[in-house]
Structures are given as C-alpha cells and as structure tokens.
C-alpha cells in the first residue's frame, strides 16, 4: 500500500493506523482521529479494523477492534458515545451520562447523525464508508461536534444544523469555528443518477456548477466535500478555517472502507474526537 496525502497525516501505533488533520493537531486540548483498515482482528470483507457492529461481523471482534483503536489513538474506551445514523440531520448534545451509548449500551435515540459536546472526557463517535465526516471545533468556547454527511444529509444541510446548534446551545460564534471535511468519496469517483443530481442542482445559492459535472447519458459526478464546504461558508464559517482532506475513500479502499469500491461488502470506519480532561493538580 502506498499512502500519499498533502493534508492528512497517517499515524501507525502498535500496528493500528489512524488519520489526523494538521488543522486540528495544533490544539493541545483536543484529540481526534479517523480510523483506517489497519491493525484490527476482523476477517474477510471486514478486514481488519472494522468498527461497525451492523455489518454482520463478529461483535466480539468489533469490540476488540474498538479497544485496540482507542489504545493506539489515545481515547478512553469507556468514554465513547456513538451516533445512530440514518442520513438525516438531527444533532444530539451529549455528556458523560451518555458514555457507552452505541458501544457497550444500546442506542436510546434513533436517527442521530451528529453529536456535539462541551464536556471534557466525552468521545464523540460517528461512522463512515464513503460518506463525508465533518469535524467542528470552537477553540474559544471549547465546543466540539462531529457530523455524518451522506448525500441526503448534505442536501439537508447537516453542517449548517451543527453550526446553528453550537450557536444556540453553547454561544459559539461561527467565525471562530474550525472545520475539517474529512476523508470521503471524491469528485473523481462519486457518480450519481439524474434524481440525485437534481437534488444537488437545486442548491442554486451554492452555484452547483462548482460541485457537479455531467458525464452524459443521465450520469453525473458530484463533489460532496466541496458542497459541504460551501454550506459551511453559508453558515458563517471563515474560508481560512475550513480544511478539506484530499483522501478519496474509493481510491484508497485498501486503507479505508469504501461502500462503492466493495459493492457493499465491507466494514466501517469511524471519526472520533474529544476534549481532553485537565489533570487535577
């Protein structure tokens, strides 16, 4: 496997691979990561660091993968709080009372595609296999969020919903928010049919010519990352505060799970992020 990226760092610790982003690595109060396929115990189409319990993998192997990933990437396993995604735009506030949800405890709310917190020691977990991960950090108010933006969530403007929640619930100023659009299927590979294209073409305020291209015969390429970037600008973020990973998950399917590349026979990646707890003196 040959890895190449200009703005996404591949770390390997004890054989476990995870990605990080320079735009977030500079904040010492924060830990973040995006998982790869490296370093787990799953087999077959789930090889090897599958972190999705819903794909048919052995749950004990998935749990072992979580333990290994947390150890390598520096997260507390007990602090994980997982989303319950279905491609909508609900944003859930979480605290330490929610530790273990979706990992060691059942989901108690369905249709949660974004998580937000201002509580140190709570690790947000969202799930991917081509869809777009959105990381949000307000360094002033010490608020973080993760969002899963598939094409439906993108059309539904989940990124804007997160920013609105951060403003209304935590007093964040959008101009202070740092955002990273993480590894996702790129405009080189994300082919859609006419009905899906028309949804993106309806976003006229974002100038769809910049994120859609016709291939002819009713097929189109769509740039999910650029669409989300433009929505974040509309939500009040500053261009200088938005970074986009140059990793296409389909092109890098040996490193990161890709639904399109595998024909649906695959495991799942996660984004994780937490505010670090300050040690007591």
User: The CATH number of the domain where 244 resides is what?
Assistant: 3.60.140.10
Residue 1 has pLDDT above 70, yes or no: no
What is the chain's mean pLDDT, rounded? 97
Domain annotation covers residue 32: yes
What pLDDT sits at residue 3?
Answer: 83
Whole-structure pTM value: 0.97
Q: Are strands 178-181 and 132-138 parallel, antiparallel or unpaired?
A: antiparallel
Domain annotation covers residue 75: yes
Domain annotation covers residue 271: yes
Domain annotation covers residue 197: no
Coil, strand or helix: which one is 93? strand
Number of neighbours of residue 53 by Cβ within 10 angstroms: 17
Lowest mean pLDDT among 22-26, 241-245, 275-279: 275-279
- Contact (Cβ atoms closer than 8 angstroms) between residue 96 and residue 121: yes
Tens digits of residue pLDDT in 95-153 = 999 999 999 999 999 999 999 999 999 999 999 999 999 999 999 999 999 999 999 99
Sheet holding 80-82, edge to edge: 9-13, 16-20, 30-35, 269-275, 123-128, 80-82
Domain annotation covers residue 223: no
Number of neighbours of residue 281 by Cβ within 10 angstroms: 3
Domain annotation covers residue 260: yes
| Cα→Cα distances 101→31, 119, 169, Å | 20, 16, 22
Domain of 157 in residue numbering reads as 9-186+237-275
Residue 213 has pLDDT above 90, yes or no: yes
Domain annotation covers residue 88: yes
Distance CA 196, CA 118 (A): 36
Take residue 167 and report the two structure tokens written for it: 């403003």
Task: Domain count for the chain, please give it.
Answer: 1
Nearest to 222 by CA among 191, 181, 260: 191
Distance CA 134, CA 207 (A): 21
Please report, rounded to a whole number, the percentage of residues in the chain having pLDDT higher than 70: 98
- Segment 250-263 shows an average pLDDT of 97
Tens digits of residue pLDDT in 152-197 = 999 999 999 999 999 999 999 999 999 999 999 999 999 999 999 9
What pLDDT sits at residue 279?
Answer: 64
38: which residues sit within 8 A by CB, 6+ positions away?
12, 15, 16, 17, 48, 49, 255
Domain annotation covers residue 39: yes
Q: Are strands 143-149 and 114-117 parallel, antiparallel or unpaired?
A: antiparallel
């Amino acid at each position: 496997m040959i890895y190449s990226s200009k703005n996404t760092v591949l770390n390997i610790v004890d054989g476990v691979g995870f990605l990080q982003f320079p735009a977030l690595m500079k904040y010492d109060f924060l830990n973040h990561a995006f998982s790869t396929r490296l370093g787990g115990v799953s087999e077959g189409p789930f090889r090897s660091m599958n972190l999705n319990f819903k794909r048919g993998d052995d749950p004990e192997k998935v749990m072992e993968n979580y333990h290994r990933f947390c150890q390598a990437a520096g997260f507390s396993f007990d602090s994980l709080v997982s989303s319950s995604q279905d491609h909508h735009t609900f944003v859930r506030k979480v605290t330490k009372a929610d530790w273990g949800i979706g990992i060691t405890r059942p989901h108690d709310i369905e249709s949660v595609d974004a998580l937000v917190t201002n509580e140190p020691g709570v690790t947000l977990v969202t799930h991917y296999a081509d869809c777009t991960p959105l990381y949000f950090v307000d360094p002033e108010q010490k608020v973080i969020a993760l969002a899963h933006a598939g094409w439906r969530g993108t059309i539904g403007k989940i990124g804007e919903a997160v920013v609105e929640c951060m403003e209304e619930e935590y007093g964040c100023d959008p101009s202070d928010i740092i955002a990273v659009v993480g590894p996702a299927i790129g405009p080189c590979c994300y082919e859609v049919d006419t009905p899906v294209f028309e949804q993106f073409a309806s976003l006229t305020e974002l100038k769809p010519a910049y994120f859609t291209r016709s291939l002819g015969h009713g097929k189109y390429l769509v740039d999910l990352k650029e669409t989300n970037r433009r929505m974040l600008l509309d939500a009040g973020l500053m261009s200088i505060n938005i970074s986009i990973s140059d990793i296409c998950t389909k092109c890098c399917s040996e490193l990161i799970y890709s639904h399109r590349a595998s024909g649906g026979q695959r495991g799942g990646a996660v984004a994780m992020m937490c505010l670090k707890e300050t040690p007591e003196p």
